[in-house]
Structure 1
Amino acid sequence: METRCDQFPNCKDGSDEVSCRLLIVPENYNKKIPPFQLDWTTNQVIKAEVNVSLFIVDMLKISEVDLEFLLKFKIKLEWFDYRLQFYNLKKSDASNALSVLEAELLWLPTLVFTNTEKNDITSGDDKSELTVSRSSKSSPSPDWEIEEINIFPGSSNKLNFERVYTKTFRCVFELSMYPFDTQVCYVDLEVKTLDRQGVNINPILIQLDGDTVLTQYILTDWNLAYKNESNPDQGVKMKIVMKRRIMSEIMTTYLPTILILTIVYITNFFKDFFFEAVVSVNLTALLGGLRLFTNLRQDVLTCAKASISSQVLSSFLSSDVSLRLQASFGAPRRLEPSSSQEGQCSHINLKVFIDIRDIDITYWRGPIQNIDKMFNPSGLLFFKG
């Protein structure tokens, strides 16, 4: 009997693969009703238990600005349906796979991903797999049955639903400690409203099958648990803990900033003869720091209230502006007069406009007379010669 209906003809005439049915659905079966039971002594509903397991395949995308992440994962649901019967089950689940047409006849757990944009749900389709696990002894077919059949009750042989999903989930990123931050994101699962009176979901297993080291983060922890232990009806949640990879931030933000500040500091030791070079270096350094700040702002800081990087770069752009200008233009620098130009000076006319709002800088050359520093109500700081 073990070779009966095993998808391989063992008899010469192939009769062992004739009239093979795996699933027997009663006529009064309603696929919209979960397989809950009623305790006749207490008149209380005994809910159907659905076991939930999640397998993380890959973290495809993380977007701090959009407050979301893209996750590829496999979900596995297990439950018993006492209303069903199965014929000739095999020890291997792969040999007990149900077809799409058979799956459409059955009640399937419908779970809602509540932190997706459209509250996506689990559903059976051609991309899902539905199998039966043999876990009990069989009973023989009745005497009036012509064919010899091993019958397995649905109350002790569980159904398994598996499907791979790729979904975008919402996540609130806490970036106040950026780039030394650790993020915690969730995948929330709940039973749909119509089934809550008859279905309980239980977190069983979570497993990471992909890489833990990502482009921006390192996955440090993951678990699956109830949202509220005292109220399992609220559903379950998968927790993913991610720690940012600090080395990339050091190489792209902190190290360039330190190098720029070092170059600017070195210009303080230049001779007066190189006044124009000092001006050019200071202004170029200011623009370079602005570029670092704007790039970082576009990537992350738009959703961070007061991160460490924003404070560092804001200080770099605000406090150092006055220091650099003072170092460069604080006093008129004169070249040593030549013998043919006794009592005259070589003059350089320099005018710098700094719009604090837009950080827009222009400069040009001409005769210097004096340097006046002024603030106007529009927020424009300028030096005029």
Structure 2
Amino acid sequence: MRCDLKFDCDDKTDERYCDIINFPEDYRSKLPPRPASDSSLPIALDVTMDTLNIDTTTMLLSVSYNLRMTWFDNRLTFNNLKNLTRLNTVSLDQVAGLWRPRLGFINTDDIQNTAVDADAVTTVVKLDQTFAPDLSNPYEVEVYRGDTNPISSTRKYSTVYTCNFDLVLYPFDIQFCYMKLQILSASSEYLIFNSRDSSVEYLGPTLLVEYGVGRIDLRADNATQFAVARVRVELIRRYGYAMLNIYIPSLTLLVISYVTLFFRPSIFEVRVMTALTSLLVLATLFTQVSASLPKTSYFKMVDIWLLFCIVLIFLIILFHTVIDLHVDYVALPGQAKPGHVATWAQTLTGSAGGVRALKVHSAEDGDGSGDEGRAGFFRRFLAKKDKFDLEFYIAASKITMLLIFAVFNLIYWGSLLRGSGLVYYL
């Protein structure tokens, strides 16, 4: 067999004159082939993706892939085609004189193009088994037609594409990143993408560090001035990291702040300092989360959650302040706060029947005359049980916090059940 990359004849003439392509004299490598029907030449595109890497902060998609373009050139004929395509590899000398489609990678920083170099492999695919012998050639040559046997060019690329992420649902978002390929050799009047024979395949792992790889498809748009093919990559964010480092810690701080409502009313400093510490830690967590994400003009779901936790802790602090504003407490009867004189007292009995706290009235409230007297009267007025029931107020604050938390979570997590990646990994 001739030109099969091994010597079968003793004189080794079977591996001579093995050029695959026959160029006619009027062949022009800068002009694209024109089908017999005078229509646009279809180019099939096959993308085989090996690895993916996504950077959310910079919104970049790094892809390593093999790009294969396949087309017919009816101006050419081919010699001695083999059924095994790799044996039909075209030499670099002949590739230099061959017309090849040129594609541009549109959504890249420097708008790269396809390259034809030593890394590119050009072959002829034998689809038609019929051939005509070349009787003028002293060697046994089988001549195949160019309009029934396509040319294929394959090369490996490593490209960084820019993406436009919508982070409203972060960290339960689903992103779509595109690889946009545009034909630069000629307008769509002459060259288009063959959607039927084009394909895309991903061979790498489906679970990445930050995302899970979903559906990948290829869509061609031949209606524009220059035909464009878009490879769409679906990326579902893996929210386990956010749950462990954002939601669970913030929920823990929220529970700690809520528990302060069960502290004894007499230890105001402990109640407020515990809630304030939780608020400061939560604010620091909010700052760290915002710094690790791209700056956006809209609120993300994680922002709404953290802001809700901050507001709820702030309300708890307000409840503590209102309690302490209306009633001054000491731990035991007869132990007034410094600078206060007990003028009257009201004891609150605990569940065991003992004295739990003593309400004292400050002498600074005055005797009822002038501004000081009016302030003292106002405090005594609010302290009356029929006007301000302390135990009822504390119980109401506990129930109110629970209701606010329950309603918010019902709305928050309910809105994520559709159109988000929350249920994707469940």
Residue 117 of structure 1 pairs with residue 109 of structure 2? yes
Shift of 1:329: 9.2
**Could you report, residue by residue, the CA deviation over 1:156-211 in whole angstroms, capped at 9, with x for unpaired residues?**
21111112222222222122222222212222222116444321211321212112
Instruction: Choose from 240, 243, 254 the match for 1:247.
Output: 240
Q: 1:283 — aligned with what?
A: 276
Shift of 1:106: 0.9
Secondary structure, in 3 states, of the residue corresponding to 1:292? Answer: helix
What residue identity is the alignment partner of 2:8?
A: N
Secondary structure, in 3 states, of the residue corresponding to 2:295? Answer: helix
Q: 1:19 — aligned with what?
A: 17
Q: 1:356 — aligned with what?
A: none
Q: 1:298 — aligned with what?
A: 291
Unaligned runs of at least 5 residues, structure 2: 341-363, 365-426
The question of whether the paired residues in 2 share the 8 Å contact of 1:226 and 1:232 is answered with no
Q: 1:381 — aligned with what?
A: none
Instruction: Choose from 280, 299, 306 the match for 1:313.
Output: 306
The question of whether the paired residues in 1 share the 8 Å contact of 2:279 and 2:314 is answered with yes
The question of whether the paired residues in 2 share the 8 Å contact of 1:98 and 1:130 is answered with yes
CA distance in structure 2 between the aligned counterparts of 1:193 and 1:99, rounded to whole angstroms: 22
CA distance in structure 2 between the aligned counterparts of 1:95 and 1:59, rounded to whole angstroms: 31
Instruction: Choose from 255, 263, 266 the match for 1:262.
Output: 255
- The structure having more radius of gyration, on CA atoms, is 2
Residue 217 of structure 1 pairs with residue 211 of structure 2? yes
What residue identity is the alignment partner of 1:84?
A: L
Structure 1 residues 262 and 85: CA distance shift in structure 2, 3 A? same
Q: Which moved more, 1:216-225 or 1:274-283?
A: 274-283
TM-score of the two chains, using structure 2 as the length reference: 0.70
The question of whether the paired residues in 2 share the 8 Å contact of 1:112 and 1:192 is answered with yes
Instruction: Choose from 78, 90, 96 the match for 2:88.
Output: 96
Shift of 1:82: 1.6
Instruction: Choose from 94, 97, 103 the match for 1:105.
Output: 97
Shift of 1:145: 2.2
Shift of 1:50: 0.8
Paired residues for 1:21-36 under 5 Å: 21-36=19-34
Paired residues for 1:57-96 under 5 Å: 57-63=50-56, 65-96=57-88
Secondary structure, in 3 states, of the residue corresponding to 2:101? Answer: coil
CA distance in structure 1 between the aligned counterparts of 2:187 and 2:115, rounded to whole angstroms: 14
CA distance in structure 2 between the aligned counterparts of 1:155 and 1:38, rounded to whole angstroms: 9
CA distance in structure 2 between the aligned counterparts of 1:92 and 1:210, rounded to whole angstroms: 27
Higher helix proportion, which one? 2
Shift of 1:280: 4.5
**Could you report, residue by residue, the CA deviation over 1:88-107 in whole angstroms, capped at 9, with x for unpaired residues?**
22111111112333222111
Q: 2:394 — aligned with what?
A: none
Identical residues among aligned pairs (%): 25
CA distance in structure 2 between the aligned counterparts of 1:259 and 1:96, rounded to whole angstroms: 66
CA distance in structure 2 between the aligned counterparts of 1:282 and 1:130, rounded to whole angstroms: 70
Paired residues for 1:1-385 under 5 Å: 3-37=1-35, 45-63=38-56, 65-136=57-128, 137-142=130-135, 144-192=136-184, 194-203=186-195, 204-227=198-221, 234-271=227-264, 277-300=270-293, 302-303=295-296, 305-321=298-314, 323-324=316-317, 327=320, 331=324, 336=331, 345=338
TM-score of the two chains, using structure 1 as the length reference: 0.77
Shift of 1:337: 7.8
CA distance in structure 1 between the aligned counterparts of 2:166 and 2:35, rounded to whole angstroms: 45
Shift of 1:279: 4.8
CA distance in structure 2 between the aligned counterparts of 1:125 and 1:12, rounded to whole angstroms: 35
What residue identity is the alignment partner of 1:320?
A: I
CA distance in structure 2 between the aligned counterparts of 1:329 and 1:35, rounded to whole angstroms: 84
Q: 1:380 — aligned with what?
A: none
Structure 1 residues 283 and 329: CA distance shift in structure 2, 3 A? farther
**Could you report, residue by residue, the CA deviation over 1:307-347 in whole angstroms, capped at 9, with x for unpaired residues?**
221112123234533533653796387765899xx767499
Unaligned runs of at least 5 residues, structure 1: 40-44, 348-369, 371-385
Higher strand proportion, which one? 1
Q: 2:402 — aligned with what?
A: none
What residue identity is the alignment partner of 1:66?
A: T
**Could you report, residue by residue, the CA deviation over 1:71-119 in whole angstroms, capped at 9, with x for unpaired residues?**
2222211111122222222111111112333222111111122222232
Secondary structure, in 3 states, of the residue corresponding to 1:152? Answer: strand
The question of whether the paired residues in 1 share the 8 Å contact of 2:103 and 2:185 is answered with no
Structure 1 residues 50 and 233: CA distance shift in structure 2, 3 A? same
Q: Which moved more, 1:235-244 or 1:263-272?
A: 263-272
Secondary structure, in 3 states, of the residue corresponding to 1:224? Answer: strand
Q: Which moved more, 1:66-75 or 1:329-338?
A: 329-338
What residue identity is the alignment partner of 1:116?
A: T
Secondary structure, in 3 states, of the residue corresponding to 2:200? Answer: strand
Secondary structure, in 3 states, of the residue corresponding to 2:193? Answer: strand
Q: Which moved more, 1:255-264 or 1:96-105?
A: 96-105
CA distance in structure 2 between the aligned counterparts of 1:241 and 1:345, rounded to whole angstroms: 66
Secondary structure, in 3 states, of the residue corresponding to 1:26? Answer: coil
Structure 1 residues 38 and 343: CA distance shift in structure 2, 3 A? closer
Shift of 1:134: 1.3
Shift of 1:301: 5.8
CA distance in structure 1 between the aligned counterparts of 2:339 and 2:243, rounded to whole angstroms: 44
What residue identity is the alignment partner of 2:307?
A: S
CA distance in structure 1 between the aligned counterparts of 2:173 and 2:23, rounded to whole angstroms: 54
Secondary structure, in 3 states, of the residue corresponding to 1:125? Answer: coil
CA distance in structure 2 between the aligned counterparts of 1:196 and 1:301, rounded to whole angstroms: 37
Structure 1 residues 346 and 207: CA distance shift in structure 2, 3 A? farther
What residue identity is the alignment partner of 1:147?
A: Y
Q: Which moved more, 1:324-333 or 1:283-292?
A: 324-333
What residue identity is the alignment partner of 1:213?
A: L
